[in-house]
Structure 1
Amino acid sequence: MGLLGMVGDSFGCSATGERLVSAARDGDIQEAMALLELNPRLARYSTFGIRNSPLHYSAAKGHHEIVSLLIESGVDINLRNCRGQTALMQACLYGHWKVVQILVLFKANIHKKDCFSGATAIHFAALRGHTRCLRLLVADYVPSLPEFWNVMHAKSTDETNKEAFDAVALRRLINSKSDGGVTPLHLAALHGHAESVQLLLDLGASVSEVTINDGSTIDLIGSGSTPLHYAACGGSAVCCQLLVAAGANMRSQNTNGLTPLMVARSWHKNSVEGILTKWPEVPVRILPSSYLSLPLMSIVKIARECGWRKTSVSSTCHDPCVICLETECTVSAEGCGHEFCTKCALYLCATTSSSTSIRGMPGSIPCPLCRHAIVSFVRLASTTPIKELPWTNKSLALCAAGASTGSKYAGPAAITSSKYAGSLHRRSEMRSLRSTSVDLGCSSFRTASSGKLSSIKLNCTGADETMPCLVNCFRPDVQRSSSYRERIRRYSQFS
């Protein structure tokens, strides 16, 4: 069984599975929709060896439409590859904030850790300095409250505000450690990402966390190093100034007896020696991060409850969203009362940098119409919650139904715009290229038709159980893509 399982992983669903992988990697939404309509279980296909799924490829390349399509097809949003990385980690690594936003809306697990380094998605975002991804990752932890800044900086005496959200959980998330005790603040400081450092400090990152020698990592700076040691090694003057202003100890020594100043000299970072030599005579005031977004939590909750897809404006609607002019208004900004659609409000919270010049508390975003500070969005009375959430799609469980009754499968592609339909093209002479054809839509069994494996049935990697396929894949209205025809033509030249 072990040998057959390995062979199944190698060859099972290789034809259509690799086509879906190619479509996810290249951003071919038409091909992906047609393939998933034929066989929804392909969403859980993974390549042999590195075991990257189509969700991993589309997330790493930033194809957010395909990511959404795969999730709605029923794929496990927290699926791991051979390194234990999820699609959310890869999206954060490459800075695709639109993908991160979709994964967060579908409640991807942000606490998952990479198997090789123990890093979370926040570590990957801080490593590359993707600050937009960082603020999206903490959308469920930063409340839409005016007193958030004061509570995090111990300036609020109102106990009601302190009990309104779990500040301890937020600090625990921000200060999560990977192997060697490295925090996201260590990584952002080392690589000189000042905006990420500033946001992490606003979210409760500790400047006194130190690395440890756990025997699994090689720390060239030395264990017992603080984020200031890492900033000194990276040579970022701005990061050093931010950490010193936040209370970092310039005299702290790691296990090698090195202070941040000694680390800077050993790595020839002369530009930061002046900052690390003496304490500033006047306390430096740290301005709030422009990437802190207080309304994000409120709009994320509304989007999960009521959806965020663009829908056409009804004929009786006389007040569409003033930003896109395409959909009806579903939310309003607290304070000024201006109304927007959910998708545009999400875009504002994810992309707008809060300005310290507007009259509002830190973390508020300016209204695009009146520049009033927005702290929270509220749902309009006419906006009703959706009955079935997108992530409860049961298309994988129903993929083998309908053939016996003659009904067509109505998968995720069937409910989407018809302009993507019919992108698979089939040539009538395809069956003559092989002595025995393989059914492309088989979700559970795959019969190898060549050589000594002609009688072996291979279990598909995406199948939960062994059961015969009931779906007839050779439909008269479905054809193969032109790229597939080109590959077959090249293969036939050498046969």
Structure 2
Amino acid sequence: MGLLGMVGDSFGCSATGERLVSAARDGDIQEAMALLELNPRLARYSTFGIRNSPLHYSAAKGHHEIVSLLIESGVDINLRNCRGQTALMQACLYGHWKVVQILVLFKANIHKKDCFSGATAIHFAALKGHTRCLRLLVADYVPSLPEFWSVMHAKCTDETNKEAFDAVALRRLINNKSDGGVTPLHLAALHGHAECVQLLLDLGASVSEVTINDGSTIDLIGSGSTPLHYAACGGSAVCCQLLVAAGANMRAQNTNGLTPLMVARSWHKSSVEGILTKRPEVPVRILPSSYLSLPLMSIVKIARECGWRKTSVSSVCHDPCAICLDTECTVSAEGCGHEFCTKCALYLCATASSSTSIRGVPGSIPCPLCRHTIVSFGRLASTTPIKELPWTNKSLALCAAGASTGSKYAGPAAITSSKYAGSLHRRSEMRSLRSSSVDLGCSSFRTASSGKLSSIKLNCTGADETMPCLVNCFRPDVQRSSSYRERIRRYSQFS
């Protein structure tokens, strides 16, 4: 944020910006809509010191509707706070999977790392054991193919299926290391999150990755430790069994010369000593994770292309979804052919327990109507793609509070009559408010970091003069005093 952005926050946006922060933190969607209608640029406001934006607060508290509203208002979805954390990291840390789903649908960057530990959103999800968030993060890497589990476990002999998706990229993503060489599997094993460990193993997590001593982290176990060392330190018998069954080396030593068994004894974890003493005579078979959910990629692509909210404000629905009975069907399950709306299909993929049977299709979810296995969804012929969001490639104006008297638009309050009345687009009038400099009452449209204060022409007071406006104009009929203009003129000379 440039000089103009900081000055705007200091002089005029502090009061209303804090109101938007409070609304985002408390989940007050009506207040947030009213404030963003008054000044859409408030979406970029951040608190002093912590530098958390309203997007961070709403994501941390799980208010997915406000998250969607802020993103559609033009806020940077990958905005960082002072720790370098994005809203996606905050949502994964607190386990708000609906927020994660919204951010993934809007293509949030899952590769960004925070500034203090080098951890990605996948690390945060594995740290707290939020398996559902973890699965949503890799939605673009796990294809909707029935042979996925077999390919990842090297049990598929068909070369065509092996080339159908990039398994190397998926393994690279899952085995991404933070500071100290810690992988998500290390974190999940240390804290005893067995479901996360099982899903990570299905996604290609390596059991032989070791930590390193880079001088930036405090490693009480010792560098050169495998995930089995971490599981032994945490004392989780289930995690130890999963890692041993996946081929983890029980005799591997770290730089301190400690094996997983020695680590368990040093941390007084007697419950796992029997598991780490010798490998079982009969190999343990690991079942597929119930969070694998193969149809997720197919429905995410359809949602991005065609939207996932109700597209019609008409009270008559000719072909309602069999689950919500409110929205028209847009997708069909391949196999049984039952039709659903995109939002219900997204909910099914995120919440339904997928098949754990090796004989069937591992990762498929059951159809809620006939219990037939669903591996992917297809778009109906009547479902039309939507256009690109107009505010994704445009910056917000410096002051959008005072609209011209002749402009006509429908603010966010106009769409509160129905909770799911909006489509992926806001209404065309709302788009014109947030993307048009004419309706904003501004004679020039430029970013907050370009030019001096005196070169920006804003007509927030209704006057015909050229003057900078750094405060919110709640009363357009009030004229600025000459002393105020003189102070602004003096300040602009030093900018």
TM-score (norm 1): 0.84
Q: CA separation in 2, counterparts of 1:483 and 1:372?
A: 74
Contact 2:331-2:342 within 8 A present in 1 as well: yes
Task: Return the offset for 1:371.
Answer: 0.7
Task: Return the offset for 1:474.
Answer: 2.9
Task: Return the offset for 1:427.
Answer: 30
Q: Deviations over 1:69-92 (max 9, x none)?
A: 000000000000000000000000
Task: Return the offset for 1:387.
Answer: 2.2
* Structure 2: runs of 5 or more not aligned: none
Q: SS of 1:42's equivalent?
A: helix
Higher RCO, 1 or 2 (CA under 8 Å, sep at least 6)?
1
Query: Relative to structure 1, is the Cα distance of residues 360 and 269 closer, same or farther in structure 2, using a 3 angstrom cutoff?
Result: same
Q: SS of 1:378's equivalent?
A: strand
Task: Return the offset for 1:450.
Answer: 28
Q: Which residue of 2 aligns with 1:213?
A: 213
Q: SS of 1:189's equivalent?
A: helix
Contact 1:12-1:460 within 8 A present in 2 as well: no
Q: Deviations over 1:13-64 (max 9, x none)?
A: 1010000000000000000000000000000000011100000000000000
Q: SS of 2:369's equivalent?
A: coil
Q: SS of 2:424's equivalent?
A: coil
Give aligned-pair identity as a percent.
97
Query: Relative to structure 1, is the Cα distance of residues 5 and 136 closer, same or farther in structure 2, using a 3 angstrom cutoff?
Result: closer
Contact 2:453-2:468 within 8 A present in 1 as well: no
Q: SS of 2:490's equivalent?
A: helix
For these two proteins, the number of residue pairs brought into alignment is: 495
Query: Relative to structure 1, is the Cα distance of residues 420 and 394 closer, same or farther in structure 2, using a 3 angstrom cutoff?
Result: farther
Q: Deviations over 1:313-363 (max 9, x none)?
A: 857644310100001100000000000000000000001111335973111
Aligned: 1:142 with 2:142 = yes
Q: SS of 1:211's equivalent?
A: coil
Q: SS of 1:164's equivalent?
A: coil
Task: Return the offset for 1:414.
Answer: 4.5
Query: Relative to structure 1, is the Cα distance of residues 312 and 274 closer, same or farther in structure 2, using a 3 angstrom cutoff?
Result: same
Query: Relative to structure 1, is the Cα distance of residues 387 and 113 closer, same or farther in structure 2, using a 3 angstrom cutoff?
Result: same
Task: Return the offset for 1:306.
Answer: 0.3
Q: Deviations over 1:265-301 (max 9, x none)?
A: 0000000000000111100000000000110000000
Deviates more, 1:462-471 or 1:19-28: 462-471
Task: Return the offset for 1:442.
Answer: 11
Q: CA separation in 2, counterparts of 1:166 and 1:394?
A: 33
Task: Return the offset for 1:467.
Answer: 8.0
Q: SS of 1:58's equivalent?
A: helix
Query: Relative to structure 1, is the Cα distance of residues 303 and 456 closer, same or farther in structure 2, using a 3 angstrom cutoff?
Result: closer
Deviates more, 1:291-300 or 1:412-421: 412-421
Q: CA separation in 1, counterparts of 2:184 and 2:121?
A: 10
Contact 1:11-1:458 within 8 A present in 2 as well: no
Query: Relative to structure 1, is the Cα distance of residues 5 and 494 closer, same or farther in structure 2, using a 3 angstrom cutoff?
Result: closer
Q: CA separation in 2, counterparts of 1:352 and 1:429?
A: 38
Task: Return the offset for 1:161.
Answer: 1.1
Q: CA separation in 1, counterparts of 2:120 and 2:437?
A: 44
Query: Relative to structure 1, is the Cα distance of residues 488 and 374 closer, same or farther in structure 2, using a 3 angstrom cutoff?
Result: farther
Q: Which residue of 2 aligns with 1:254?
A: 254
Deviates more, 1:453-462 or 1:201-210: 453-462
Q: Deviations over 1:440-465 (max 9, x none)?
A: 99999999999999999999999999
Deviates more, 1:265-274 or 1:150-159: 150-159
Q: Deviations over 1:250-273 (max 9, x none)?
A: 000000000000000000000000
Query: Relative to structure 1, is the Cα distance of residues 113 and 159 closer, same or farther in structure 2, using a 3 angstrom cutoff?
Result: same
Contact 1:444-1:463 within 8 A present in 2 as well: no
Q: CA separation in 2, counterparts of 1:405 and 1:70?
A: 26
Deviates more, 1:268-277 or 1:475-484: 475-484
Q: Deviations over 1:89-120 (max 9, x none)?
A: 00000000000000000000000000000000
Contact 1:100-1:133 within 8 A present in 2 as well: yes
Contact 1:324-1:344 within 8 A present in 2 as well: yes
Q: SS of 1:419's equivalent?
A: coil
Query: Relative to structure 1, is the Cα distance of residues 325 and 281 closer, same or farther in structure 2, using a 3 angstrom cutoff?
Result: same
Deviates more, 1:393-402 or 1:321-330: 393-402
- CA-atom RMSD, angstroms? 8.5
